[in-house]
Amino acid sequence: MHIPDGYLSPQTCIAGFAVAVPTLALAARRVRTVVRTRHVPTLALFSAMCFLVMMFNIPIPDGTTAHAVGGGIIAIILGPWAAMIAVTVALAFQALLFGDGGVLAFGVNVVNMAIALPLVAYGLYKLISGSSALSSPRRILGAALGGYVGLNVSALLTGIELGIQPGLFHDASGAPLYSPYSLGQAIPAMLLAHLVVAGFAEGALSGGVLAYLQRANQPLLKLNHPDVPVDHERTTRKVRPIAVAGIAVGIMALLTPIGLLAPGGAFGEDAPADLDLGKVNLQAIPEGLNKYNGFWHNALFDGYDFGGDAHPWLGYLVSAVVGIAVVGLVVFLVGKLIARFTRHDVEAGVAR
């Protein structure tokens, strides 16, 4: 995610500094009033720590590893303002010592990783943890989700900054002067990797470190949570994963009628005759599309609908519920089968 020099126009880089410098000045003032003379060693040690956190390889279940930035967990321990300075110093090390991220692009990198990430991660953490006790699992969830969303917001910003380049800066022949990919190409490319891999690594690190500190070093957590009680009365019931999964699926099913709002459709989704051929550089409808269109007529809910489009949103809901039930049943049966075969294997192994 570190943008090197050369990918962004100097104008964009200057805009990055214009945002980063005042924000850092504000952060420096906030930190100075809170921790007074202690700020120099505290920030120094946590900046060094922040640099090391970026070096940690987080193990992923498929046998590979990914990196985290660590801005979220530092924000939870030190507060977002101190985290901004710590991550900025770590980024300065990377840019000057290791050529990781550009010098002109430093301001933009600071905005993405040192300002947006800690702010978003900390905001979400506060929102989710609410008034819960310091040792509450809600705080772990808040830290993990904060890390995940914070890193993805950071990646989204990077995608936007790279994506605006070809439209704004190109030569007379239309050739882009800097990063060549448009918003529609840069944003998905950045977000895909972060939504699928790096976000989880960041979330796992934030949540994992918070859980560890809850167990082993609560005084450290107390630094930025002076008024939060360590332990409430244990009145909350344990949340079962199946309940969380059920609620999440239920909400998604209820939201399916949003599909009605989406303009247009996928390429040639409805009738091939409705295709706007000029828009996609075609002279005729592709032969295969014409041939196989309407190949299958026996759908139960054709077009997520029944009863001749009288109640479209009801059609969406019923389709969602039936779809979820069918998929759930298939997954359940496959799971049962796998469990049966593996148990058989284990028993056979024991017998041998």
Partner 1 sequence: MTELIDRPTTSTPEWLLRAEPGLCPCGCIGKRHKGSFVEKTLRGGASVLRQVVFSDDTATRGGLLQRVDPRVKVLTMVGLLLAAGFVHSSLVLVGLYALTLAAAAASGLPLGFFVKRVWLFVPIFTGIVVLPATLSIVTAGHVVIPLWTWDGTVEGITSQGLATAARLVLRVAVSISIVVLVTLTTPWSRLLAGLRGLGVPKMFILVIGMAYRYLFHLLTVVMDMYEARKARTIGKQKHDKAARGFVAATAGVTIGKAHQLAEEVHQAMTARGFRGDAKTLDAPKLSLRDGVCLLTAAAIAFAALFVDGLLV
Handedness of CA 75, 81, 83, 87 (dihedral sign): positive
Contact set for partner 1, span 194-223 (CB under 8 A): 194, 196-199, 204-205, 207-209, 211-213, 216-217, 220, 223
* Residue 7 binds partner 1, judged by CB under 8 A: yes
* Residue 33 binds partner 1, judged by CB under 8 A: no
State the minimum distance, in angstroms, from the CB of residue 59 to partner 1.
4
Q: Choose among 127, 133, 126, 131: nearest CA to 233.
A: 133
* Residue 37 binds partner 1, judged by CB under 8 A: yes
Q: Which is nearer to partner 1, 277 or 334 (CB)?
A: 277
Rounded distance between C-alpha atoms, residue 55 and residue 191, angstroms:
21
Contact set for partner 1, span 77-106 (CB under 8 A): 77, 85, 89-90, 92-104
Report how far apart, in Å, the C-alpha atoms of 79 and of each of 72, 120, 244 are.
10, 12, 30
Torsion angle of the four alpha carbons 76, 79, 85, 87, in this order, in degrees rounded to the nearest 10: 10
Q: Which is nearer to partner 1, 26 or 258 (CB)?
A: 26
Q: Which is nearer to partner 1, 9 or 132 (CB)?
A: 9
Report how far apart, in Å, the C-alpha atoms of 244 and of each of 138, 153, 204, 239, 252 are.
13, 25, 19, 7, 12
Tell me if 232 sits within 8 A of 133, measured CB to CB: yes
Q: CB-hemisphere CA count at 13 Å for 218?
A: 12
* Residue 289 binds partner 1, judged by CB under 8 A: no
* Residue 282 binds partner 1, judged by CB under 8 A: yes
Q: Which is nearer to partner 1, 134 or 320 (CB)?
A: 134
Using the contact rule CB under 8 A, the part of the chain among 28-36, 123-131, 241-249, 327-335 near partner 1 is 28-36
State the minimum distance, in angstroms, from the CB of residue 241 to partner 1.
14
Using the contact rule CB under 8 A, the part of the chain among 39-47, 127-135, 295-303, 338-346 near partner 1 is 39-47
Rounded distance between C-alpha atoms, residue 209 and residue 78, angstroms:
14
- Residue among 46, 81, 125, 316 that touches partner 1 (CB under 8 A): 46
Quick one: tokens of 269? Answer: 């989704």
- Residue among 15, 34, 42, 132 that touches partner 1 (CB under 8 A): 42
Contact set for partner 1, span 129-168 (CB under 8 A): 155, 166
State the minimum distance, in angstroms, from the CB of residue 329 to partner 1.
29
The residues pairing with 58 across neighbouring beta strands, listed in sequence order, are 66
